Amino acid sequence: PSAEPILKVAGLEAGYGDIQILWGVDLDVMAGEIVCLVGSNGAGKTTLLKTISGLVPATAGSVRLDGAELAGAAPDAVLAAGIAHVPEGRRLFRTMSVRDNLLMGAYLRPHDADLDADLDRVMTMFPRLAERARQDAGTLSGGEQQMCAIGRGIMSRPKVLMIDELSLGLAPRAVELLSETLVEVNRAGTTILLIEQDVMTALEISDRGFVLDRGRVVMSGTPDVLAEAPEVREAYIGA
């Protein structure tokens, strides 16, 4: 087995205009892993995902997917290379059907038999979406909308699926269901990089985690190690 990470972020710097937010972020994700990114509000988690996606331009550093440099690439090129981004707040097309929202995730691919097979696969993975395929996405519950957003992400057949704020605003039962589904998605072969406000939920489903603070990675490790770390306990678990 190769020890090369599928996603390798090194020395990444980015910001908005004159305001620098990321100060040399180093992070790696191995193929098949679920990795979570935790950190307080404003730590730069969303900015990091947006910079990996090409939505925010990197001012220094590198983002490599399977060894290929993506820093500086446009968002559609990053998606085509194999990184899909489920944004904070889901961002569905509310007046379009669930099915059409899912198809939007595959807009870079030809509509062929493979695409229909993938649509079936997503519908099987998320039976709620199958039941509601013809409904407008705006009529879904929060948890169902998150399923739809994740399903849309999967439709591009990404190597790495990035999810910003999996559980924000959702009921505990919905979070539980989403977590279970995410583990299934991962077992089916998709590597996952996840931002999750609720550190316990994040650590429960992750193989490893990174702690971001003021634009830098200050700690990383297995869920056991992170859950026991005084810095993590004090700041995020409230122990």
Residues that bind ligand ATP (CB under 6 A): 16, 19, 21, 39, 41-47
CB neighbourhood size of 90 (10 A)? 23
Residue 112 phi/psi, 5-degree rounding, is -135, -170
Instruction: Kindly write down the DSSP assignment for every residue of 76-130, as one continuous string.
Output: HHHHHHTEEEE-TT----TTSBHHHHHHHTTTTS--SHHHHHHHHHHHHH-HHHH
- Residue 98 Cβ vs ligand ATP, minimum distance, rounded to whole Å: 26
Q: Looking up tokens 């996606």, which residue turns up?
A: 53
- Residue 197 Cβ vs ligand ATP, minimum distance, rounded to whole Å: 7
- Residue 88 Cβ vs ligand ATP, minimum distance, rounded to whole Å: 6
What's the one-letter identity of residue 152? R
Residue 219, H or E segment: strand 216-221
Q: Which is nearer to ligand ATP, 46 or 53 (CB)?
A: 46
Q: Which is nearer to ligand ATP, 125 or 168 (CB)?
A: 168
Bridge partners, 209 (sequence order): 36, 221
Q: Which is nearer to ligand ATP, 2 or 41 (CB)?
A: 41
Q: Is 35 helix (H, G, I), strand (E, B) or coil?
A: strand
- Residue 23 Cβ vs ligand ATP, minimum distance, rounded to whole Å: 12
Q: Residue 66 has which token pair?
A: 């399977």
- Residue 41 Cβ vs ligand ATP, minimum distance, rounded to whole Å: 4
Q: Which is nearer to ligand ATP, 27 or 103 (CB)?
A: 27
- Residue 151 Cβ vs ligand ATP, minimum distance, rounded to whole Å: 23
Q: What share of the chain is helix, strand, coil (3-state, %, to 5)?
A: 40, 25, 35
Q: Which is nearer to ligand ATP, 5 or 44 (CB)?
A: 44
What's the one-letter identity of residue 2? S
Q: Which is nearer to ligand ATP, 47 or 179 (CB)?
A: 47
Q: How far apart are CA 174 and CA 129, in angstroms?
A: 14
